[in-house]
Chains A and B, each alone.
Chain A
Amino acid sequence: MLRPLSIFTLLCLSIPPLAHGHDLKLVVRNLSEPGGTLNWMMFDSAQSYDAGDNSVASGRHRVTGDTIELTLHGLPDGTYAVRLFHDENNNGELDTNLLGIPREGYGFSNNSGERGPASFDDAAVAVHGDQTIEIRVR
């Protein structure tokens, strides 16, 4: 299971961790300003990714600096995609302008989605051993 980073960290893992599973380190960089909450979700299929539910794991972390690192333990082999956003004003959602363009930071695994949202395939990372996923918030 995830090692809690601080009391402000909330994490949900919806699959039972395997004793012989892999460690997945998630490094989130370039958080714009201290304050607010990092919201992330990890999916193992395009279906759940597109629907935005049945995430394999998810978490919320108070943002106190420009980087957050956390590690998931006991992850089975699989293909995973992470998406996240920086809820700067803690209103629980990714704020957008009238065109639906985000006004708060967000990111995807593989730093995919050159302009706007990434597909599951673009964001997918194959996990067969211990691994690090680095996401730059944009």
Chain B
Amino acid sequence: MSLRRRQFLHLLTSLSAAQLASLEVLAAKEPAWASGFAGVVDDMAPHDLEVYGDIPSACHGTLYRNGPARYARAGRRYGHWFDPDGMIQSFAINAAGISHQGRFVRTAKFVEEQAAERFLYNGAGTVFRDSLPVRSNESTNVANINVQPLNGELLALWEAGSPYRIDPETLETRGRLHWNDDLDGVPFSAHPRFDERGHLWNIGSVPFVGQPSLVLYHVSADGQLRNWRVHKLDFAGYMHDFVLTPQYLIALNSSAVLESGETFVDRIHWRESQPSQLLVFDRETFDLLHTIEVPATFVFHFGNGWQDRQMLSFTACRYPNSDIVTHGMRRLAGQQPGPYHPAPELVRYDLSLQQRSAQITSLDIAMEFPSFDGRYPFTSQAVIGSGGQRNSESELGSAVQSVDPRTGEHQIFDYGPGIIVEEPLFIPGPDGGYVLHSFHDYQHQRSGLAILAAGRLAEGPLVKADMNRVIPLGFHGCFLSA
């Protein structure tokens, strides 16, 4: 809880109703969008949405999302968006309508703190007095970044430890995923990628233990670990996502370098003079083939990658520095108004493996939460994402958009102030398919879903559905068709 808010709540306990009324002005100073960061304390029981429009049958299925949800316990509040315990949201979409429910991931930390009725450990970005020492990263695994399918179940993904296994029907937690004893508790990023066969590939960033290193993973569609390898790195740049192509894995060792500091986030220092490195690994052998230096860069998320002979191309939502993670995500979770960090910018990277050089082209469009048609992971295609960050009240997107990274062709529908658009996903269907995204309507304190025609985004939603309750703003998810 921010100091201002804590003081305010403290005041509330000692004031009369008349005095409270005069304090409404003070309360109103919290930005309207801040309700998306209030959090919840209980699982969210199934609840029907009010649906406007006809749901295309191609969109029948379930949207799963993950995000930080438990912000406070016993008068203490987390101060960074990375901190709160993960909650899996599901939206069951069928001909009869849309039903939402949410369930906290029962991580070891969540179970322990639930019993203690207070926070026991520091968060990724928050220090509590009297917090307990940790055994390993797993002591503070909150499984709050992404949820993706593997072999008939869901993985609730963090990035500094192992994923948790989730029942897709009940959202119950089945325990922590154990690949083998060597990899027990070893970082596994929240952004695994799938190839055309449904094999899962991932990185795991290990910035603290001895020399910084990167773990590479290959898991077959039936959930069997096929291959893994650890590479030493030249420096401990923050890494959140990577790019997969038919032959390569490409990771960006960013210039947000993990050094000293009290929390994970405190350790992140922007090093403008440290060029970032594009690390190109062979997908089958996991050998490091090329290290290509690029100007100091920070990236959370990449679009898909494609390969044309010796030219590798991919998109990224690039930041000029790491203020988003060191300041922006604190400000959001702290429910504070601006100043704002620089907006993410959609760029295209073209790597020449022969010349070991990278050409970086800006598409001059603000974008975050990029996604693409997962049926064609290695084909050059439009990248879908949230947009409008440059004019946003919160710094989060108010628009849904798609951009062709070769031609720059751009479609956008901007809901304007009052709506925060969460990660949009492509759903295959007739006439170019659909785009599905959840949203937070902070003017009316409602959460919901929208479906747009992928080829006609500017026309706005075909279907809009919402409900009279607020889901904490989340990060990533997946759609599984019925």
Q: Which residues of A contact B (CB under 8 A)?
A: 95, 97-103, 105-106, 111-115, 136, 138
Contact = CB atoms under 8 A, between A and B. Distances in A.
Contacts of B18: none
A111 B76 CA distance: 22
Contacts of B181: 95, 97, 103
B184 A103 contact: yes
Nearest to B187: A99
A7 to B, nearest CB: 30
Contacts of A111: 132-133
Contact of A102 (B133, B135, B182): B135
B132 A102 contact: no
Interface in B177-198: 181-186
Interface of B: 132-137, 139, 181-186, 206, 208-210, 230
B182 A98 contact: yes
Contacts of B134: 114-115, 138
Main secondary structure of the interface of B (DSSP, over half): loop
A106 B183 contact: no
Contact of A114 (B133, B136, B185): B133
A97 B186 contact: yes
Contact of A99 (B132, B133, B206): B206
A77 to B, nearest CB: 28
B135 A100 contact: no
A101 to B, nearest CB: 5
Given A98-B230, A99-B206, A99-B209, A138 B183 contact: no
B184 A138 contact: no
Contacts of A106: 135
- Rank and list the top 8 A-B pairs by shortest CB-CB distance, nearest first: A98-B182, A138-B135, A101-B136, A99-B209, A97-B184, A114-B133, A103-B184, A97-B185
A100 B206 CA distance: 12
A105 B132 CA distance: 14
B183 A98 contact: yes
Contacts of A98: 182-183, 186, 230
Contacts of B137: 101
A102 B134 CA distance: 11
Q: Which of B206, B209, B230 has the most CB of A within 10 A?
A: B209
B186 A105 contact: no
